Chains A and B, each alone.
Chain A
Amino acid sequence: MTELALDVGWGTILAIKTVVVLAIIPLGAIILGYTFLLKMMAHMQSRLGPMDPGGFHGWFQLFGDGIKFIQKEDVMPAKSDRRIFAIAPAVVVISTFLVFLVLPTGPDLVVSDLDVGVFYALAVSSLSVVGVLMAGWASANKFALLGALRAAAQLIAYELPLLLAVVGVVVMAGTMSLQGIVEQQQNGAIFGWDGIGNPFVFAQIIGFVLFLVAAQAELTQTPFDMPVAESELVAGYMVEYTGFRFLFFFIGEFGTAFAFAALAATLFLGGWAIPFVTDPGWSNVLGPIVLITKIMLVAFLMFWVRFTYPRLREDQLQAVAWKFLIPIGLANILITGALKVAF
């Protein structure tokens, strides 16, 4: 809807979009958390999950948890580096926020459609590693530091498979801009049949699986949650965080899950595009709904794996990344490039 009835400047539109994105992060975190962490996990374990808060199947549970966290006392360890301790959760959330800036939810509903959208999104999502290290260091706790170092090693190791999975998509689409990739999927054809466009998940199935596995590790979810399930031994890098700061970490974790699911949906499943709706007016309205559906589908896969598998030990985790996933990613790129040139 480029012709709005109101005549507003680009600054106002930018402000509105920023506020919407800022609101989406906790909202997305709550939706993912409630549906998958509370309800789906419960049903997979033959139980019901929250039922009473809010009356109808406990929808108010996470809101109540948020309120509880906000009203807690702000405790900092005595020897901690106060400024870094305070900033660390914010760094994690800011990196999530920056990823959302390039995610398109409709033909015109994107904050900023960069030409290097994919590159930017992956680069900025790895800023959270800095936040984790800051949290571990500033906690003045030896075990928090060790947990943070392990987490950093894991996150850095799995950046590469993430990147390699996406390169295949970029090769197929010919552009790094996310809107461009969605457009390519909408207007493309699978061997000549253009009924449903060309969602890259079919041609890039290896890349899709690779992306999901690497995203699972980036989010430190089982089977890659050794940094966080240090709570078996002591606790991870978040041990000294309580109250509002811990809420930030929680929102950051699930917000990042939302962002990665959105990226996967955009890169592989076609994003906001519906195959037979090309009118931009309708796409702007239906686009967000379609994108949310695809996000829930991808998140379902991620959380399904999270609740089923045990966790890998740290050295096994690194071995999987370096010896298994990266060669597969490289092979995927070679094959994609060869086939793209051939066809």
Chain B
Amino acid sequence: MPKLPKPKAPGLIGGLGVTFKTMLKGAVTVQYPHEREDPPTRARGVIALKEENCTVCMLCARQCPDWCIYIEGHKEKRPPRREGGRERTVSLLDRFDIDYALCMYCGICVEVCPFDALFWSPEYEYSESNIADLLHDKEKLGEWMETVPEPEPLEVGAETGKK
């Protein structure tokens, strides 16, 4: 039987070996929607609104680079805390819409809110078939509060409690 000549193209043979090994190793595909991957805790999926914390200060709407937050509120009078005191006014939210067609998912609104009314949630399955349906109102934003995860602990060496 004639002797096989030494391959003069070892790179070519090596390349074949790589693809063969990968074929045997199995696929890395996650078959969505049958299987799902969990995004990390901090993943910026959707913004949730905790309505009771909001004081209609409009900081988020002002700081949004896209101006995609639409806020309307009104003031109401509340009885004074003590007898003979001045009447208090509270701001109540009428309308808090975020237009997710414009939202850049930058997180500036969540960051600047002084009253912790906005939170990030890793929820990502809220696609719509009509682009106008991406304008979500405060009821929907409030529903997403349930998906907001607990803040995770920070890495070794971080100073907690400081910003």
Question: Is B12 touching A42 in the complex (CB atoms < 8 A)?
Answer: no
Whether A43 touches B27, Cβ cut-off 8 Å, given contacts A190-B1, A203-B2, A205-B4, is yes
Residue A47 at the B interface, CB < 8 A? yes
Q: Please tell me which stretch of B13-21, B40-48, B70-78, B155-163 contacts chain A, meaning at least 4 of its Cβ atoms lie within 8 angstroms of it.
A: B13-21
Q: Chain B contacts of A231 at CB under 8 A?
A: none
Residue B31 at the A interface, CB < 8 A? yes
Question: Is B29 touching A202 in the complex (CB atoms < 8 A)?
Answer: no
CA distance A205 to B26 in the complex (A): 32
Say how far A210's CB is from chain B's closest CB, in angstroms: 13
Question: Is A304 touching B19 in the complex (CB atoms < 8 A)?
Answer: yes
Whether A42 touches B27, Cβ cut-off 8 Å, given contacts A203-B2, A205-B4, is yes
**B28: contacting residue among A47, A190, A304, A308, CB under 8 A:** A47
Residue A40 at the B interface, CB < 8 A? yes
Residue B132 at the A interface, CB < 8 A? no
Question: Is B2 touching A44 in the complex (CB atoms < 8 A)?
Answer: no
CA distance A42 to B19 in the complex (A): 11
B16: nearest chain-A partner, CB-CB: A308
Whether A308 touches B31, Cβ cut-off 8 Å, given contacts A190-B1, A202-B1, is no
Residue B22 at the A interface, CB < 8 A? yes
B14: nearest chain-A partner, CB-CB: A308
Question: Is A46 touching B25 in the complex (CB atoms < 8 A)?
Answer: yes
**B19: contacting residue among A44, A48, A203, CB under 8 A:** A44
Chain A 45-88 per-residue mask, 1 if CB under 8 angstroms from chain B, else 0? 11110010000000000000000000000000000000000000
Q: Chain B contacts of A45 at CB under 8 A?
A: 22
Q: Chain A contacts of B31 at CB under 8 A?
A: 48, 51
- Most B-side CB within 10 Å, residue of A40, A46, A307: A46
CA distance A202 to B18 in the complex (A): 26
Question: Is A308 touching B15 in the complex (CB atoms < 8 A)?
Answer: yes
Question: Is A46 touching B22 in the complex (CB atoms < 8 A)?
Answer: yes
B12: nearest chain-A partner, CB-CB: A309
**B27: contacting residue among A46, A191, A309, CB under 8 A:** A46
Say how far B8's CB is from chain A's closest CB, in angstroms: 11
Residue A146 at the B interface, CB < 8 A? no
Chain A 87-117 per-residue mask, 1 if CB under 8 angstroms from chain B, else 0? 0000000000000000000000000000000
Q: Chain A contacts of B25 at CB under 8 A?
A: 46
Question: Is B27 touching A48 in the complex (CB atoms < 8 A)?
Answer: yes
CA distance A43 to B25 in the complex (A): 8
Residues in A175-218 with C-beta less than 8 Å from chain B: 190-191, 202-203, 205
Residue A317 at the B interface, CB < 8 A? no
Question: Is A46 touching B19 in the complex (CB atoms < 8 A)?
Answer: no
Q: Chain B contacts of A42 at CB under 8 A?
A: 27
Whether A43 touches B15, Cβ cut-off 8 Å, given contacts A48-B27, A48-B29, is no
Question: Is A40 touching B23 in the complex (CB atoms < 8 A)?
Answer: yes
Residue A37 at the B interface, CB < 8 A? no
Q: Chain B contacts of A44 at CB under 8 A?
A: 19-20, 22-23
Q: Chain B contacts of A130 at CB under 8 A?
A: none
Q: Chain A contacts of B18 at CB under 8 A?
A: 308
CA distance A305 to B1 in the complex (A): 26
Q: Chain B contacts of A305 at CB under 8 A?
A: 16
Q: Chain A contacts of B4 at CB under 8 A?
A: 205
Say how far B6's CB is from chain A's closest CB, in angstroms: 13
Q: Chain B contacts of A51 at CB under 8 A?
A: 31
A307: nearest chain-B partner, CB-CB: B19
Say how far B7's CB is from chain A's closest CB, in angstroms: 10
CA distance A316 to B15 in the complex (A): 20
Residues in A307-323 with C-beta less than 8 Å from chain B: 307-309
In the complex, 22 of the A-B residue pairs with CB atoms within 8 angstroms, ordered by the A residue number, are A43-B22, A43-B23, A43-B26, A44-B19, A45-B22, A46-B22, A46-B27, A46-B29, A47-B27, A48-B29, A51-B31, A191-B1, A202-B1, A203-B1, A203-B2, A205-B4, A304-B19, A304-B20, A305-B16, A307-B19, A308-B16, A308-B18
18 more contacts with CB within 8 A, not counting A46-B26, A203-B2, are: A43-B22, A43-B27, A44-B19, A44-B22, A46-B22, A46-B25, A46-B28, A47-B27, A47-B28, A48-B27, A51-B31, A190-B1, A191-B1, A202-B1, A205-B2, A307-B19, A308-B15, A308-B19
Listed from nearest, the 8 A-B pairs whose CB atoms lie closest are A43-B23, A48-B29, A44-B19, A48-B27, A44-B23, A308-B19, A47-B29, A46-B28
